[in-house]
Amino acid sequence: AMVAADPRVLALAAQVTESKEQDIPLLLLKLKGILNSASLGSEESKKIKQDIYYYDLTQYCMLVLRQDHSRLRGGWATAAQLAEILSHCCVGLEVKEDPEEFHNKFLPSAIDNLLFLGRRLQARFIRTIKDEEKQDFLHWFQTVADAICWLFGGHVQLAACVLQNDHFLQLLIADDIETAIITMSILHNILRVNSSVLLQVDEETLHSILDELVYKLSSTTNPVIGNAATKLLLLVAKFCKQLVKLLTARYKGLKGLLSKQWSGKGFDRDLGQLLDLLYLEQSNGKGEMQRQHQAACIIQATWRGFQTRKRLKKLPQAVTTLQRNFRAKREQELQHLEKQKVEEALKLQMQLQRQRAMRLFHERQLAVLEIIHASQVNKYMEEMEGKSALTIQRFWRGYRARRNFHQQRQSLKEYKAAVVIQRAACKFLEKRRRRRPLSPWKDPKGLTDERRLALQQKVDDYIKLHPASQMSEEMSKELHVQAQEKLAQFLLRSRLDQRAAQRRETLLAQVNTDVELLMNAPGLAEATEKDLDVFVSRSIPVATKARQSHNTMLKYTRWPWWKKLGDEFVEDDVIPDDALNAELGTLFIGGKK
């Protein structure tokens, strides 16, 4: 039998669905009271978690973790509580419908969002200056870390997801001591829950984690960091012998570093166990290898010290550059905001001026209309329209004159420049002619007798090689007669074709006229003698069309000025063809199709 859903979960789901986005995080905090109402691990608790999952409240919790809670109600404290609620909702939940989606998609997404929230809290903890705020952010970061540990403690397969997540590696490599300790505690819990998880991740992730642990041992002197890193390496070495080989092969100076730097710091027991495991792997050639490891450790320490000192020397310059860039950017933003304010104020002022001018104009017009007698209103309005038209014409003609002047000024400048260049060129050529002395007259060279004989011999040889075709006088006359006959035939044929074309054009014009007259003619019952005369006489249609053309020309000349604004350069006696066509339609006018 179907069991009814918890009414509190139903009511909360309805509130979340109907509420605004900024109010959802605070509403979701009610889930904590609903979860605490049932004992952990009981059937009632499982039923409540199933209802919360099926009504998508866990999805809401997971999505809210991605938001920037500095702008939401409740702040980051609400985000930390929602992380704790999400982990408690997922642990002990038995999904009956589509469990693969829950285990393969929902849980990895929840881990990713929790780690993303942890990164945001870590960044704000590092940037915060006040001690109270730092303690708050550290407490919330610890709450999120506990939620992550609780979640993968209930679902062991999530341990590999945590290690392979980029956000976890970013949390681990942070230089801050407090958050680094909490992150290493997460790693410690992962190794306790699933000792073989390091063999399940890819090689790059494994090397990144081990590199960071060894780096923390070599780069800091804080005993808390050293104790945590040593315990993690000891767990790695205890749970998997293959990783001991990797530690000894990849970090050859690790044993010397541990024995010299971390002896007597309060965790000698764990340190001794780790060193014993490392020395067991290299029983042969122990002394030589130890010296090499010590030398490598010294070189690495020296190099890291050099890099650290170099970075510290560059730090003031970098801070100065950062401050300068920040101040320049802030100055640009302030200038931009000031410019926007000035522009908005100018727009508002112009709008107010327009409104004030329109109001004054309407008030003046109403006052005038109150003074003027009712019979004189139309006359006054006509005078105002005339004045307005004159004002528009005056501004238009002024604009056109200024435009033409600017165009002519450029052409006039070019013309004057051309005249100056031509005048200078003419002066230069005149001076050159005056300076050049007159050359003495020289007779043209004539042909000598030997040259003339040689040319005559070439001409004769060419004539012999290319003799011209000879035609008799009778053949020439016969050819001339044939050409004359063909020319006369062509002229006669072209004259006949021209007459036929003229006849066709005349017939087409007559047909067009008759068709138009028939289209406009009245019915037989209404026909009069005048209508019959139109079809009998051929001059009446022509006179009618001439009258219509004359009326159209008169109507065009009476058009108002605003209809002829685009025709300033058209002569007064020229009527546009569009106007004539609009009046005459498709009627035939004599001499035109």
Most confident of 137-141, 375-379, 542-546: 137-141
Query: In this structure, what is the dihedral angle of CA atoms 562, 564, 569, 570, given to the nearest 10 degrees?
Result: -170
The model's confidence at residue 285, banded by pLDDT at 50, 70 and 90, is: very low
**Per-state percent for the chain, helix, strand, coil, to nearest 5:** 80, 0, 20
Q: What is the DSSP letter of 104?
A: I
- Interhelix angle 203-219/254-261, rounded to 10 degrees, is 30
The model's confidence at residue 540, banded by pLDDT at 50, 70 and 90, is: low
The reported pLDDT for the residue numbered 288 is 60
**Number of neighbours of residue 590 by Cβ within 10 angstroms:** 13
Q: Say how far apart CA 547 and CA 351 lie, in whole Å.
A: 56
**Given a cut of 80, is residue 80 above it in pLDDT?**
yes
Q: Say how far apart CA 80 and CA 141 lie, in whole Å.
A: 7
- Give bridge partners of residue 592 from the DSSP assignment: 589
* Phi then psi dihedrals of residue 586, to 5 deg: -110, 25
Mean pLDDT for the chain overall? 80
Q: Say how far apart CA 366 and CA 356 lie, in whole Å.
A: 15
The model's confidence at residue 506, banded by pLDDT at 50, 70 and 90, is: confident
Q: From its phi and psi, is residue 99 left (phi > 0), alpha (psi between -120 and 50) or beta?
A: alpha
The reported pLDDT for the residue numbered 99 is 79
| Token reading at 185 | 């505690």
Average pLDDT, integer, range 198-215: 82
Average pLDDT, integer, range 488-501: 91
Write the CA distances from 239 to 185, 197, 228, 235, 242, integer angstroms.
Answer: 17, 10, 17, 6, 9
- Give bridge partners of residue 43 from the DSSP assignment: none
Q: Where are the beta strands (DSSP E) in 201-308?
A: none
Of 150, 107, 19, 41, residue with least CA distance to 30: 19
- Within 521-575, where are the H helices? 529-536, 539-557
- Please give the model's pTM, rounded to 2 decimal places: 0.46
Q: Is 502 helix (H, G, I), strand (E, B) or coil?
A: helix
- Give bridge partners of residue 589 from the DSSP assignment: 592
Residue 573 or residue 213, greater confidence: 213
Structural element, H or E, at residue 333: helix 286-371
Q: Locate tokens 């006039």: which residue?
A: 412
Q: Contact 491/567 with Cβ under 8 angstroms? A: no
Length of the chain: 593
Half-sphere exposure (Cβ direction) of 356: Cα atoms closer than 13 Å? 6
Write the CA distances from 464 to 320, 451, 459, 469, 472, integer angstroms.
Answer: 103, 20, 9, 12, 21
Among 90-94, 159-163, 321-325, 335-339, name the one with the lowest average pLDDT.
90-94
Which DSSP string corresponds to 57-83?
HHHHHHHHTTS-GGGSTTHHHHHHHHH
Determine the longest span between alpha carbons in the chain, in angstroms: 143
**Given a cut of 50, is residue 569 above it in pLDDT?**
no
Radius of gyration of the chain (CA): 53
Half-sphere exposure (Cβ direction) of 525: Cα atoms closer than 13 Å? 0
Q: Say how far apart CA 295 and CA 33 lie, in whole Å.
A: 60
CATH code, 1-183: 1.25.10
Would you list the domain boundaries of the chain? 1-183, 372-421, 537-585
Q: Contact 151/61 with Cβ under 8 angstroms? A: no
Q: Print burial letters for 286-295: b (CB count within 10 Å at least 16), e (below 16).
A: eeeebeebbe
Q: Say how far apart CA 584 and CA 549 lie, in whole Å.
A: 7
pLDDT, tens digit (0-9, with 9 covering 90-100), for 234-260: 888 877 777 777 777 777 777 777 877
**Number of neighbours of residue 434 by Cβ within 10 angstroms:** 7
The model's confidence at residue 328, banded by pLDDT at 50, 70 and 90, is: very high
Q: Say how far apart CA 334 and CA 330 lie, in whole Å.
A: 6
pLDDT, tens digit (0-9, with 9 covering 90-100), for 350-365: 999 999 998 998 888 8
Residue 479 or residue 586, greater confidence: 479
Of 87, 8, 86, 13, residue with least CA distance to 44: 8
Let me know the angle formed at the C-alpha of 17 by 12 and 18, rounded to the nearest 5 degrees.
Answer: 100
